[in-house]
């Protein structure tokens, strides 16, 4: 699985958009980009994933560059409850072999 690089920490004002970058310059053609987050001591929570195209769901948007070497997770209107560690994970989905390798994610602090 490709290695990812994320900022150690970020701040965001409540109500503003939070843009969390992820570098995955060694990503291969069949690897997807997944985003999970972990609110303090809770189980990690799936946010969104994508292969090439930009994706949007009720939680966030995922922007993947054309060369797929980096991506950005966007929380459009951050709230205090979005304070968490955000993990960018790159892997090939494969039945029974879908383990998640958590690297050092980004600790996002949303402040009033």
Partner 1 sequence: AAGVIQSPRHLIKEKRETATLKCYPIPRHDTVYWYQQGPGQDPQFLISFYEKMQSDKGSIPDRFSAQQFSDYHSELNMSSLELGDSALYFCASSWLTNEQFFGPGTRLTVL
Binding residues for partner 1 (CB under 8 A):
34, 38, 41-46, 49, 85, 87, 93-105
Q: Name 41's Cβ contacts closer than 8 Å, sequence gap at least 6.
A: none
| Minimal distance, residue 34 CB to partner 1, in Å | 7
| Minimal distance, residue 46 CB to partner 1, in Å | 4
Query: Could you give the residue ranges of the DSSP H alpha helices within the chain?
Result: none
CB of 47 closer than 8 Å to CB of 36: yes
Choose between 45 and 79: whose C-beta lies nearer to partner 1: 45
Distance CA 10, CA 18 (A): 9
| Minimal distance, residue 97 CB to partner 1, in Å | 5
Distance CA 80, CA 66 (A): 32
The residue behind tokens 């970058």 is: 21
Choose between 80 and 101: whose C-beta lies nearer to partner 1: 101
Choose between 15 and 93: whose C-beta lies nearer to partner 1: 93
């Amino acid at each position: 699985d490709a290695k990812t690089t994320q900022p150690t920490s970020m701040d965001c004002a409540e109500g503003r958009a939070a843009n969390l970058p992820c570098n995955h310059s060694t990503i291969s053609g069949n690897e997807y980009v997944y985003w999970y987050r972990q609110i303090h001591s809770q189980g990690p929570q799936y946010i969104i994933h994508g292969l090439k195209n930009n994706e949007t769901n009720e939680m966030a948007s995922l922007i993947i560059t054309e060369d797929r070497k980096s991506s950005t997770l966007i929380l459009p209107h951050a709230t205090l409850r979005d304070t968490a560690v955000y993990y960018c994970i790159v892997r090939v989905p494969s039945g029974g072999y879908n383990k998640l390798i958590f690297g050092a994610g980004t600790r996002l602090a949303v402040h009033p």
